[in-house]
Amino acid sequence: MQTTSPERDSGGNARLGAVAAFVGFLFAMEVASGMLQGWFTPIVALIGEKYAVGSADLNWVSTSFLLSTAVLVPLISRMGDRYGHKRMLTITAGVVAIGSLVVAFAPSYGVFLAGRVICGALVAFLPLEFAIVRERAGEQSGKAIGLLVGGLTAGVSAGAVLSGLLAAHMSLTALLLFPAVCMAIAFVVVLVLVPETSARTQASVDWVGAALVGAGLALALYGISIGNTAGWTSGRVLGCIIGGLVLLAVWVAVEQRIEHPLIELSALQGRGGIGLPILIAAVFGAQLFGGQTPLALFASTPKELGFGLGLSASSTGLLIFVVGFCAFLGTVAGPRLAERLGEVPAIVIGAVVAAAGSFLMVVSHGSLGIFLPWLILNGFGNGIIIAALPNMVVRRAPADSVGIASGLYNTSRTVAGAIAGAAFTAVMSGFVMNAGAGVQITGEGGYEVVWVCCGVLSVLVALLSLLVRSPKTQKSADESTTAPLVAEV
């Protein structure tokens, strides 16, 4: 492994000007990344209208994206550790631009979802950026990564409100072209203005493992999502679920026998390592990602049906913006809480606040004025966790494996989010009601069950966090000069 220290002044500190320059470019990329991740939430109902897809099946707009990250993020992160983080960041921006074009011009819902799968590579941005910042920013790493987190969170909010506002003035195809334009610009920015890292791992890329875990998860989640409509005892459902589980079992066996697995399962063992934080990340991701599409659908449900907020796409975007802004405030408060109280207390506080918001949403959601405060609570609590939790993983990572460690953190959250999305699809399809003119939508009870599940998951995050031990002492020269890292959305 080769290593190169960041540029330093006569006092041995990383040069602030050089750090500020490339971190600023990465910040711009994270704003663009966040906008793409928030872009689809306010317009889910419009996508359903274009492709004549019901509200339950629209969960796949988010679930397909999250599912693909289970394969793409570890692969791209490992390739970054092996071939260069800037190189893979550039390639990834190009791939996402292509996927965005597929989404914009998709002739069918199936092709649309295929484009969303390609766009799952977007989530690999931060793991690659973590590695660049850790090597090139030195003792400024913590602040730099905190800035990237803020850019991503702000971008999600900005994307949600902008797409909602533009939806009233342009066609859906034109609206969906915006992500492709953003990624084309990001491609040029990283290619020209972002420095490369020098640390390299000799670990090979586990293509077989990627194929097994991707196919296994896809089969199992599809079976879960159609359980209520096709029948849980039908051969189609059981075949998908059992087949998926068999593939996942084969994947685990393969990962334990090869020298460089896609996901280092042994690294997940022990409370003093990254195993428990990764589990907490998975539970948190199920709550965070699983509830996004149901929220947008509830907001757009006409009040005349006896529930819902009756919001337009633009108003739904503004609602998501408010929630995202509160999450941004949480990411500002999270590092400060962690510095004063410790990582575990900060995460527990965030989880309790988020749980309170979810449970209050179940109890009272009759109007926007009543519903909004609970969303604000939930968003702020999630923001605290977003800022505090990744530090547990990144601080424990070897210098040449920050990319894959961060990718594992991301993957655990997004896979759990995909599983929750598929499960919530099954829940929502069990509460279908007739909205008139032959249109079937999810009834009020389906949303209430989803919010209860999100509240329970937040409580579980708090309880699991109390079991986390202090990290093992890091003795490498790299770690002795690098500040603790605070990371990502």
Q: How many CB atoms lie within 10 A of CB 439?
A: 10
Mean pLDDT score across all residues of the chain: 80
- Residue 441 to residues 41, 53, 178, 254, Cα–Cα distance (Å): 17, 10, 29, 42
- C-alpha 18/C-alpha 6 separation (Å) is 9
- C-alpha 357/C-alpha 381 separation (Å) is 8
Residue 268: its pLDDT value, please?
Answer: 59
Residue 94: its pLDDT value, please?
Answer: 93
Q: What would the pLDDT profile of 96-111 be if each residue is shown by its tens digit?
A: 999 999 999 999 999 9
pLDDT band at 59 (very low <50, low <70, confident <90, very high): confident
Which of 25-29, 82-86, 150-154 has the lowest average pLDDT? Answer: 150-154
Looking at the predicted structure, is the pLDDT value of residue 475 above 60? no
Residue 130: its pLDDT value, please?
Answer: 77
Q: What is the DSSP string of 230-298?
A: H-TTSHHHHHHHHHHHHHHHHHHHHHTTSSS-SS-GGGG-STTTTHHHHHHHHHHHHHHHHTHHHHHHH
Residue 114: its pLDDT value, please?
Answer: 93
Q: What would the pLDDT profile of 265-305 be if each residue is shown by its tens digit?
A: 665 554 445 778 888 989 999 998 888 888 888 888 888 88
Q: Which amino acid is at 264?
A: E
Residue 272: its pLDDT value, please?
Answer: 47
- C-alpha 46/C-alpha 78 separation (Å) is 37
The structure tokens listed for 379 are: 């968003």
Higher per-residue pLDDT: 223 or 264: 223
Q: What would the pLDDT profile of 331-363 be if each residue is shown by its tens digit?
A: 888 888 888 888 889 999 999 999 999 999 999
Q: Which residues contact 452 (CB under 8 A, 6 or more apart)?
A: 358, 359, 362
Residue 67: its pLDDT value, please?
Answer: 77
- C-alpha 52/C-alpha 135 separation (Å) is 49
Q: What would the pLDDT profile of 120-177 be if each residue is shown by its tens digit?
A: 898 888 878 877 877 766 665 566 666 777 777 778 778 878 888 888 788 899 999 9
Looking at the predicted structure, is the pLDDT value of residue 57 above 80? no
Looking at the predicted structure, is the pLDDT value of residue 377 above 60? yes
385: left (phi over 0), alpha (psi -120 to 50) or beta: alpha
Residue among 263, 23, 32 at smallest CA distance from 129: 23
Q: Judge whether 301 and 310 are in contact, CB under 8 Å.
A: yes
Residue among 438, 421, 351, 435 at smallest CA distance from 386: 351
- C-alpha 435/C-alpha 142 separation (Å) is 51
